[in-house]
Structure 1
Amino acid sequence: MPYAHLLGTGSALPEYVLDNHGLETIVDTSDEWITRRTGIKQRRISKLEKGETTASLGTQAARDALETAGITPDRIDTIITATVTADRLFPSAACMIQKDLEAFNAAAYDVSAGCSGFVYAMEIANNSIKAGMAHNVLIVGSERLSALLDWTDRSTCVLLGDGAGAVVLGSQETPGGILSTRMKSDGRHWDLLYAEDGTFPLPESLEGAYNMPYHLKMEGNRLFKQAVPCMAHIAEEVLSRTDLKREDIDLVIPHQANLRIIQAVSDKLKIPMDRFFTNVDRYGNTSSASIPIAMDEANRQGCINKGDHVLLVSFGAGLTWGGAVIEWSI
């Protein structure tokens, strides 16, 4: 049975930076309040005049990942895009990315699993490679969550940002690569985080940003109480499916939802925070893009070396959650 190895990573971010002081002019909040409750200092916002769409950001991240992997687009068998903010109801963001990449030998489709979308896509890709159905798979997480925001709701508008990340997985006979994956969901709690019909005017300072015909609703406290045990449990479960213990994990890359959640997961797993990679302070919560953006940054900053063991954990709307253990191949 072949193994799905990580061959390349990439990421893309909008140019416009909205920091906490900028938010102070939009909604009743403060830099101190946001930082203390979330750890977020700034986030990126997509702009119409820049052409920063879900597909364009995803394409840029994909090109970076393909270049790192040394793989040309025509060698990709499958493109899986994790997103809840595709540019159109249909076609899929994956098909639009396929067109821009000219990766016409691939099948392309989207996965909608909220912030867990990337890990869901990774399990699907891993199984496809292990089954011999694909040789090279491109996974993209791309989001424009700023387009879903009610900018008068300080409990949500301070949290979210835009961006894209991508990885290339390739089939190899050498043991390693993705060692274990697991995805779970519980639809009984769908109403803790969802999109509701209705839009709100954009603040003057964000003129030119996107605005979708629905907005995000969230029950933050109840969501926090679900997120921490779910993420910790899925981490323990994917580890139990390998020969590794938590002491063998060199780096944890969690979904970048909120620094308090990440710290609580660290405490529950008894893995120190110095083994967690975080960039939530600079980008906020970018949903399904957060883990692949962090993977790319960790890779390019030299935080991960070939042979290191990396743990991914996510949690999102649905409710959905997932985990993966990877032996780093780059």
Structure 2
Amino acid sequence: MFDVYITRAGKYLPNEAVSNDEMEGILGMINDTASKARRIVLRNNGIKSRYYAIDKKGTITHNNAQLTHLAIEQLYDENFTKNDVELLSCGTSAADNLFPSHAAMVHGLMENQSVELNSSSGVCCAGMNALKYGFLSIRSGNTKNAVCTGSERSSTWMLAEKFNNEVVNLKKLEEQPIIAFRKEFLRWMLSDGAGAFLLESEPRGEVSLKIEWMESFSYAHELDACMYAGGDKLEDGTLKSWQDYTPEEWLKESVFSVKQDVKLLDKYVLDKGSDSTKTALDKHGVDYRDVDYLLPHVSSNFFATRLYNSLLERGIDIPEDKWFMNLSRVGNVGSASIYLMVEELMNSGRLKKGEKLLLIVPESSRFTYSVSYLTVC
């Protein structure tokens, strides 16, 4: 078995940072009415700025594959070019197309040579799943390097025009033309961007991160879906697929909007994440006191203190001065968020050889979690 190192990290955040006051001007007002939920959601999530692949005139500037490719290009130098890539492993919540795969579309933009491809679906853990594929490939000797990515283009899902037909339908039914909170909530939470890692079997440069281990956990066997798109949840908790709706219903009921069951999120996301973290640390015999940096992907600062308390209840006391987060500056970028945190810390000049990083990534879609442990080399 071979050691695996993150030797370079890159990112791409499109256009200029968007402030809280600018969001609705870009995404648009549903039913020409300012959102009542926006200020409440933003006050709780603590996000001050984010990035959209839409300019301030409303023009779409990048698709998901383009964002990913631009992040990958940050990995190249005179010692590693696009023609040296052996494996491309890409994770995202929503690819540009149902098929071809996201990785195939990104590879098409690279214009290099034939490589092995992997596309990981899911939501926030899609990026970690893509990373694990690359990690296992190098660890087993299948390849000597891998480019792994996490990326999102959520903004176009949240444009007001995507909800207009539902509002019109509600008016026809003489109901209040107000979009359900489970649909509007995520309009003020999600943003766009991409991160990329170069994985190799030897360290390179001033700072490399050795991946000691990666663990993943799913609780879909006991919990219903919490975050979903391309369908809707029925009263019995099952999801009805977009394929089982008529084309007219796709628009009338905003079937393709991203939805969140906030009650389920609040009830389970922290406890299952803390359980998973403790299980992973115990399995590998890691003492939490050895952790120098905790990088938790949280969708909202509302959960940060509660996550600390939840970990503490399980005997894991990692003080908040060891936490590294950039949520307030870049927003919640789903599967790219952990890449953006690692990239920023890795290139900050703060890391010292021998320090340990613990990554925790929750995915609320049907409660999946990824935990990883890194050593600075």
Q: Name the TM-score class by shorter chain.
A: 0.7 to 0.9
2:89 aligned with 1:80, yes or no?
yes
> Which one of the candidate residues 186, 195, 207 is aligned to 1:165?
195
1:160-199 equivalences under 5 Å are 160-172=190-202, 177-187=210-220, 188-196=222-230, 197=242, 198=250
Matches within 5 A, 1:194-213: 194-196=228-230, 197=242, 198=250
Match of 1:51 among 58, 61, 65: 61
* Cross-structure match for 2:74: 64
Listed one character per residue, the Cα deviations across residues 48-84 of structure 1 (whole Å, up to 9, x for unaligned) are 85631111110111111344x9422222221111112
**What is residue 310 of structure 1 aligned with on the other side?**
357
User: Is 1:21 aligned to residue 54 of structure 2?
Assistant: no
Kept in 2, the 8 Å contact 1:45–1:161? The answer is yes
Aligned to 1:278: 325
Give the CA deviation at 1:6.
1.0
**Of 134, 155, 164, which aligns to 1:146?**
155
Inter-partner Cα distance in structure 2 for 1:191 and 1:150: 24
Please state how far the C-alpha of 1:159 moved relative to its aligned partner: 0.6
Matched positions, count: 318
Question: Secondary structure of 1:37's partner?
Answer: helix
In structure 1, how many angstroms separate the alpha carbons of the residues matched to 2:278 and 2:133? Answer: 20
TM-score by length of 1: 0.86
- Say whether 1:246 aligns with 2:288: yes
Structure 2 spans left out of the alignment, 5+ residues: 161-178, 231-241, 243-249, 312-316
Q: Does 40-49 or 74-83 show the bigger shift?
A: 40-49
Structure 1 unmatched runs, 5+: 201-211
User: What residue number does 2:128 align with?
Assistant: 119
Greater mean alpha carbon deviation, residues 180-189 or residues 159-168: 180-189
Question: C-alpha displacement at 1:199, in angstroms?
Answer: 5.2
Amino acid at match of 2:212: L
Higher strand share: 1
Q: Deviation at 1:31?
A: 7.2
CA contact (8 A) 2:37 2:184 kept: no
Who wins on radius of gyration, i.e. which is larger? 2
Distance 2:153 2:7 in 1: 26
TM-score normalised according to structure 2 size: 0.76
1:172, CA displacement in angstroms? Answer: 3.5
Q: What is the match of residue 2 of structure 1?
A: 2
Displacement over 4 Å in runs of 4+ = 150-153
- Structure 1 residues 274, 66: CA separation in 2 closer, same or farther (over 3 Å shift)? farther
**How far apart are residue 97 of structure 1 and its match?**
1.7
Letter in 2 for 1:60: L
| Structure 1 Cα separation of the partners of residues 350 and 267 of structure 2 | 30
Alpha-carbon deviation of 1:111? 0.2
Mapped partners of 1:228, 1:191: distance in 2: 16
> Is contact 1:227–1:261 with CA below 8 Å preserved after alignment?
no
Residues 142-164 of structure 1 show CA distances to partners (whole Å, capped at 9, x for unaligned) of: 11112223755442211111110
Q: By how many angstroms is 1:184 displaced?
A: 1.5
The answer to whether the 8 Å contact 1:66/1:168 transfers is no
- SS of the counterpart of 2:127? helix
